[in-house]
């Protein structure tokens, strides 16, 4: 497939409510979109890097820079999705930037062949269970109101963001108010250290599905130690950037569940490899999220339809994030999102809505 050019488009999307984690508060999503153009078709990719390097070392300006300076110029004249991965391999890191480029090429390629991303990846489900990630709030009553609203909407699993000072009490309050039957998990975004092990063991009594990324990103060994001190299953997010990392974490006993985010690991092909490694070892996976627009969400929902995705993902409906999405909105039906079946990622931005939120565009001729 010949690529004639690539558009880098920056959009600013206000969130419906501030989203607070242990690393910061987001009120607006600053998103980089890529549009790959070929003589016959085009393809879209969403870069999930955030404005500041707080979740990981990547940030959106750096992603745009590495794409225009190194990654896009390295593309071969004839590119399919596998060729993109090979061409980008020599460049270290920048997985979110690589993922956006690979996805846009993959989308264009699949549109050309008429195949959906879900079918290409090996999806076996036509809908996926929707969980929701609930940010840190100023008070417990505020949290309980938010959780009540999400349960009313039909979300089948609740994830609470936690940090030191906001952990046991919010979990206890949610259990007391909504009961033991609600599938519940927590995400610390690396806010604790191994010296907090006995404190984290206080979460054991609440029957959580898992605790996500309690310790530092680069510390598999300490996660393995923690796993022996607490009963709640450990799930890794930030620590897993490749299938090799997943294999290492599993063999060390650092986790028994993996959150797969295609952006974090460099794309959907690597995400599928991680799924395959985990599945072969009986390790459950679920699809994480990075507050994506409908473009990134469509591809995530396709991935989440693979057979190893046995836990509900952070694949929420569009309105959990945005009043107006740039694509037709994803909506919950009986607690699930429908997997797109059209060619490629199966959705496109609505031009007028996209233009309204666009802050910058740049065209790179190949
Ligand atoms: O750690 O899973 C995370 C959002 C931004 C950055 C990191 C994380 C998150 C979420 C929200 O938890 C997931 C979503 O609903 O998209
Ligand atoms: Mg996480």
CATH class entry, domain 119-338: alpha beta
**Distance, CA 364 to ligand 1 centroid (Å)?**
31
Q: What is the pLDDT of residue 77?
A: 85
Question: Does the beta carbon of 26 lie inside 6 Å of ligand 1?
Answer: no
Distance in angstroms (rounded) separating the CA atoms of residues 96 and 128 = 24
In ligand 1, the atom with minimum distance to the C-alpha of 321 is: 15
Active site residue 161: yes
Distance 220 CA to ligand 1 centre (A): 21
Q: Which atom of ligand 1 is nearest to the CA of 238?
A: 1
Indicate the fold that domain 5-113+350-365 takes in CATH.
Enolase-like; domain 1 (3.30.390)
Helix, strand, coil percent content, the chain, rounded in steps of 5: 40, 25, 35
Compute the half-sphere exposure of residue 23: CA atoms within 13 Å on the CB side of its CA.
Answer: 18
316 lines ligand 1 (CB under 6 A): yes
| Annotated active-site residue in 2, 159, 229, 261 | 261
Q: Which is the catalytic residue, given 2, 92, 161, 229?
A: 161
Res 81: pLDDT: 87
| Atom nearest to 132 CA in ligand 1 | 15
Which residue owns the Cα nearest ligand 1 atom 8? 290
Predicted local confidence at residue 133, as pLDDT = 98
Would strands 131-134 and 157-161 be described as parallel, antiparallel, or unpaired?
parallel
The pLDDT of residue 3 is: 97
Q: Among the atoms of ligand 1, which is closest to the Cα of residue 261?
A: 2
Cα 112-118-119 angle, rounded to 5 deg: 70
Structure-derived torsion over alpha carbons of residues 228, 203, 304, 317, reported in degrees to the nearest 10: -160
Tell me, yes or no, if 98 is annotated catalytic. no
The H or E element that residue 5 is part of is strand 5-21
- pLDDT tens across the length of the chain (366 residues): 999 999 999 999 999 999 999 999 999 999 999 999 999 999 999 999 999 999 999 999 999 999 999 999 999 989 888 999 999 999 999 999 999 999 999 999 999 999 999 999 999 999 999 999 999 999 999 999 999 999 999 999 999 999 999 999 999 999 999 999 999 999 999 999 999 999 999 999 999 999 999 999 999 999 999 999 999 999 999 999 999 999 999 999 999 999 999 999 999 999 999 999 999 999 999 999 999 999 999 999 999 999 999 999 999 999 999 999 999 999 999 999 999 999 999 999 999 999 999 999 999 999
User: 350: CA distance to ligand 2 center in Å?
Assistant: 30
How is residue 123 written in tokens?
A: 């999806």
Ligand 2 centre to CA of 91 (Å) is 25
What is the Å distance from ligand 1's center to 137 Cα? 15
Pairing of strands 5-21, 336-338: unpaired
Per-residue pLDDT, 325: 98
Tokens encoding 362: 């740049």
Alpha carbon of 57 to ligand 2 centroid (Å): 15
Domain residue limits, the chain: 5-113+350-365, 119-338
Q: Is 314 touching ligand 1 by the criterion CB < 6 Å? A: yes
289 lines ligand 1 (CB under 6 A): yes
Q: Is the CB of 238 under 6 A from ligand 1?
A: no
Ligand nearest to the CA of 240: 2
Integer Cα distance of 244 and 44 in angstroms: 28
pLDDT of residue 320: 98
């Amino acid at each position: 497939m010949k690529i004639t050019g690539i558009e880098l488009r920056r959009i600013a999307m206000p969130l419906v409510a501030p989203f607070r984690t242990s690393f910061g508060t987001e009120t607006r999503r600053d998103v980089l979109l890529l549009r790959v153009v070929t003589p016959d078709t085009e393809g879209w990719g969403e870069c999930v890097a955030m404005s500041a390097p707080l979740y990981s070392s990547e940030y959106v300006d750096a992603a745009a820079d590495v794409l225009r300076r190194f990654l896009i110029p390295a593309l071969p004249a004839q590119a399919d999705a596998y060729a993109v991965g090979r061409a980008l391999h020599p460049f270290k890191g920048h997985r979110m930037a690589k993922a956006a480029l690979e996805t846009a090429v993959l989308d264009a390629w699949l549109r050309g062949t008429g195949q959906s991303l879900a079918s290409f990846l090996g999806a076996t489900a036509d809908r996926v269970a929707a969980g929701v990630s609930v940010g840190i709030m100023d008070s417990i009553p505020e949290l309980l109101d938010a959780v009540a609203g999400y349960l009313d909407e039909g979300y089948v699993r609740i994830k609470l963001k936690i940090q030191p000072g906001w952990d046991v009490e919010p979990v206890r309050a949610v259990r007391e108010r909504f009961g033991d039957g609600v599938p519940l998990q927590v995400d610390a975004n690396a806010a604790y250290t191994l010296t907090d092990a006995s404190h984290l063991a206080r979460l054991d009594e609440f029957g959580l599905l898992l605790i996500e990324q309690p310790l530092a990103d680069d510390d598999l060994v300490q996660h393995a130690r923690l796993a022996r001190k607490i009963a709640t299953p450990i799930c890794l997010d930030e620590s897993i950037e490749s299938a090799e990392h997943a294999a290492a974490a599993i063999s060390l006993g650092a986790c028994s569940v993996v959150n797969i985010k295609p952006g974090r690991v460099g794309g959907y092909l690597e995400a599928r490899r991680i799924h395959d490694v985990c599945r072969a070892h009986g390790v459950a996976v679920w699809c994480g999220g990075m507050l994506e627009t409908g473009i990134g969400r469509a591809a995530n929902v396709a991935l989440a339809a693979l057979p190893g995705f046995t836990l509900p993902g952070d694949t929420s409906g569009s309105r959990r994030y945005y009043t107006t999405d740039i694509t037709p909105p994803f909506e919950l039906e009986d607690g699930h999102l429908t997997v797109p079946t059209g060619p490629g990622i199966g959705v496109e931005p609505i031009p007028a809505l996209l233009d309204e939120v666009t802050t910058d565009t740049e065209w790179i001729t190949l």
